[in-house]
């Protein structure tokens, strides 16, 4: 939601652009009247935020956070590593996603058409920093980056609209952890390895279709689900490393 401070900031950035307000509105596929709707309490929409950030050539977080609200991670090496790889990573992931979604049809394409490119663009623009993600946070889970010797993948936060929350009937991180503990040892080791590789390399990973049978804790029902998993390596302002896990059904 926009605050008074953010509305003022948006208007200032737009005013500083050499183009007219009408030209900027057209560039983000909006009518000139859209500018007048910028008021406190309004939800501008994730697509609009990203389009405006692109047109004004500013990071997304600059449109979502007031001055002094947050500082970037001090882990400059990690950020630089992500930034150096970003363009190639985006190209590779989009290409693989396009091929796989074509193979599995319209339903999978429709399910991911909005969130997948938004997440990838956000990750690229933030250079792997876990900031400015509030408008997308309900779509994915945040997993602690596994360290050497870890025996299990530990969820830090489960998005309210993520696939895990839908399957489990709750967005409790503990519920997801309990589910992971039911996996056999080999499955857990593969899961740990995939998250550690993504975190250590600084590169996203889009899985092949995954087939799983989930027993929900609240009613003991067994649900079979096939899904893709996008993993994005990120680092929090504190310096702690995480992996965003966005899963969408095949």
Half-sphere exposure of 227 (CA within 13 A, CB side): 21
pLDDT at 93 over 70: no
The confidence score (pLDDT) of residue 155 equals 96
pLDDT at 53 over 70: yes
> 76-249: same fold as 4-64?
no
Q: Which of 225, 230, 228, 226 is nearest to 246 (CA)?
A: 230
pLDDT at 46 over 70: no
Give CATH for domain 4-64.
1.10.260.40
Residue 237, both tokens: 């302002």
pLDDT category at 133 given cuts 50, 70, 90 is confident
Give me the phi and psi of 228, to 5 degrees please.
-100, 155
Give CATH for domain 76-249.
3.30.450.20
pLDDT digits (tens, 9 = 90+) for 169-200: 899 999 999 988 888 888 899 999 999 999 99
**Could you state, in order of their start, the residue ranges of all structural domains in the chain?**
4-64, 76-249
Percent over 70 (pLDDT), the chain: 76
Q: Is the dihedral of CA 210, 203, 242, 190 positive or negative?
A: positive
Instruction: Report how far residue 140's alpha carbon sits from residue 207's, in angstroms, rounded to the nearest whole number.
Output: 15
169 CB contacts (<8 Å, ≥6 apart)? 216, 218, 219
Contact between 21 and 33 under an 8 Å Cβ cutoff? The reply is: no
Tell me the chain's radius of gyration from C-alpha atoms: 19
pLDDT category at 110 given cuts 50, 70, 90 is very low
pLDDT digits (tens, 9 = 90+) for 139-166: 999 999 999 899 999 999 999 999 999 8
Q: Which of 128, 116, 141, 137 is nearest to 199 (CA)?
A: 128
pTM of the model: 0.63
The confidence score (pLDDT) of residue 200 equals 92
Residue 31, both tokens: 């009518």
Q: What is the DSSP string of the chain?
A: ---HHHHHHHHHHHHHSSS-HHHHHHHTT--GGGGGG--TT----HHHHHHHHHHHT--HHHHHS-TTS----S-HHHHHHHHHHHHHHHHHHHHHHHHHHHHH-HHHHHHHTTHHHHHHHHHHHHTTBS-S-TTTGGGSEEEEPP-TT--S--EEEE-TTSHHHHHHTS--HHHHHHHHHTS-HHHHHHHHHHHHHHHHHT--EEPPPEEEEEE-TTT--EEEEEEEEEEEEEE-TTS-EEEEEEEEE-
pLDDT at 98 over 50: yes
């Amino acid at each position: 939601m926009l605050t008074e401070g953010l509305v003022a900031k948006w208007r200032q950035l737009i005013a500083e652009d050499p183009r007219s307000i009408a030209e900027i509105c057209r560039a983000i596929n909006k009518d000139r009247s859209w500018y007048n709707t910028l008021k406190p309490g309004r939800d501008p929409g994730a697509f609009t935020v990203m389009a405006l950030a692109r047109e004004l050539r500013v990071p997304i977080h600059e449109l979502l956070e007031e001055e002094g609200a947050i500082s970037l991670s001090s882990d400059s090496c990690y950020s630089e590593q992500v930034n150096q790889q970003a363009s190639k990573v985006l190209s590779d992931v989009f290409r693989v996603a396009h091929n796989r979604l074509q193979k599995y049809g319209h339903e999978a394409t429709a399910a991911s058409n909005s969130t997948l490119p938004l997440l990838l663009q956000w990750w690229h623009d933030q250079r792997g920093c876990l900031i400015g993600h509030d408008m997308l946070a309900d779509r994915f889970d945040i997993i602690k980056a596994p360290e050497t010797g870890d025996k299990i993948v530990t969820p830090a936060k489960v998005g309210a609209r993520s696939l895990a929350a839908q399957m489990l009937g709750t967005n409790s991180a503990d519920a997801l952890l309990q589910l992971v503990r039911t996996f056999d040892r080999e499955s857990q080791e593969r899961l740990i390895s995939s998250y550690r590789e993504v975190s250590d390399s600084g590169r996203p990973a889009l899985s092949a279709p995954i087939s799983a049978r989930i027993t929900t804790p609240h009613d003991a029902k067994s649900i079979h689900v096939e899904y893709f998993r996008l993993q994005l390596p990120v680092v929090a302002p504190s310096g702690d490393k995480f992996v965003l896990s966005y899963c969408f059904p095949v």
